[in-house]
Amino acid sequence: QGHIVHNWKARWFILRQNTLLYYKLQGGQRVTPPKGRILLDGCTITCPCLEYENRPLLIKLKTQTSTEYFLEACSREERDAWAFEITGAIHAGQPGKVQQLHILKNSFKLPPHISLHRIVDKMHDSSSGIRPSPNMEQGSTYKKTFIGSSLVDWLISNNFSANRLEAVTLASMLMEENFLRPVGVRSMGAIRSGDLAEQFLDDSTALYTFAESYKKKISSKEEISLSTVELSGTVVKQGYLAKQGHKRKNWKVRRFVLRKDPAFLHYYDPSKEENRPVGGFSLRGSLVSALEDNGVPTGVKGNVQGNLFKVITKDDTHYYIQASSKAERVEWIEAIKKLT
């Protein structure tokens, strides 16, 4: 987020031993020299940062001089990985702290064969899922809710978690990904604590409900909207790439998200507040190929820096995309090919 005009811009970050450098991006390439630097000595880090309700993937850094930086990642995994490495750099002179971090990082991992979507599907199962019911808190009745401790019990009994600590972490993940939402004073208060381990309460007085977006998805086959189906797939790859516009042919940095089951490639505007794709297409029947660097191919205009590739959809729409390196281009092409 910019300091003077509080808009959001895509930046290329490099973490050094005690400094976080950030660069402008142009045509998918970083522009030198760095646009700015954040000195990590004496910094404090908040992750997850919940100061922006519609931006769940934020990290906040506060320097020794009380300057605040808000940084947004592409995914929860990427956010947590950056936060972990930055925290390690802040505490580089304290080996004990770094060791603690490694223990914390490896303490809980979702088994690879379990997806959050699968867990939520099972939670909605009419016979073995969680049944929301009216619950009271501080004199108010909340319809279609369930208590935190009963969700923890359910996650353990269905073998999604080995113990209560793991179940609380998993429930926090479900909230972060907007499958669940807190209801009432107790659970809403926990969200503001800023501590991931304490965001979800294993408590008989804290209330939760299913997120509206998921209710819409499961209500009936007729009501499933196309966008909900498109966005329900498992994310297999994401990152920033430059894309040529269809009308003005200008190049803009977009956050691309590749999903499977169903196979779709969506792209998001990193400067927009809402986390909705600005475009996307099905990969079924698509063709993807690298474009040679010698000369600008037909159909490509403007500031081209190489590492181009093209996706042609089943309906013959051509998408021209630039990666920031040859290696990144190869990775994207291979990942897309597997889903076409």
Q: Is 265 exposed, middle or buried (0-12, 13-18, 19+ CB in 10 A)?
A: buried
Q: Identify the three-state secondary structure at position 40.
A: coil
Report the candidate in 321, 290, 319, 316 with the shortest Cα–Cα distance to residue 304.
321
Residue matched to tokens 């956010």: 79
H or E stretch covering 102: helix 95-105
pLDDT mean values, one per 10 residues, the chain (340 residues): 86 89 84 90 83 82 92 83 84 60 50 71 88 85 90 87 79 80 84 60 88 50 53 87 81 88 88 77 90 70 78 89 88 94
∠ CA(311), CA(316), CA(318), 5° rounding? 40
CA distances from 84 to 18, 90, 328 (A): 14, 10, 23
Contacts of 245 (CB under 8 A, 6+ apart): 251, 252
Answer whether 0.75 is exceeded by the pTM: no
Cα separation of the two ends of the chain: 36
Predicted local distance difference test score (pLDDT) of residue 160: 84
Burial class (CB in 10 A: 0-12, 13-18, 19+), 160: buried
Which top CATH class is 116-217?
A: mainly alpha
Q: Tokens for 158?
A: 């269905």
Locate the domains of the chain by residue range.
11-106, 116-217, 229-338
What is the spatial distance between Cα 294 and Cα 291, in angstroms, rounded to a whole number?
9
Do the domains at 11-106 and 116-217 have one common CATH topology?
no
Cβ contacts of residue 155 below 8 Å, gap of 6+? 119, 161, 167, 170, 171
For residue 271, the model assigns a pLDDT of 72
pLDDT at 215: 45
Both structure tokens of 327: 């290696």
Q: Does domain 229-338 have CATH number 2.30.29.30?
A: yes
- Residue 161 contacts residue 151 (beta carbons within 8 Å): no
pLDDT at 6: 83
Closest CA to 124 of 201, 204, 211: 211
- 11-106: CATH number: 2.30.29.30
Residue 147 burial (10 A CB sphere; 0-12, 13-18, 19+): buried
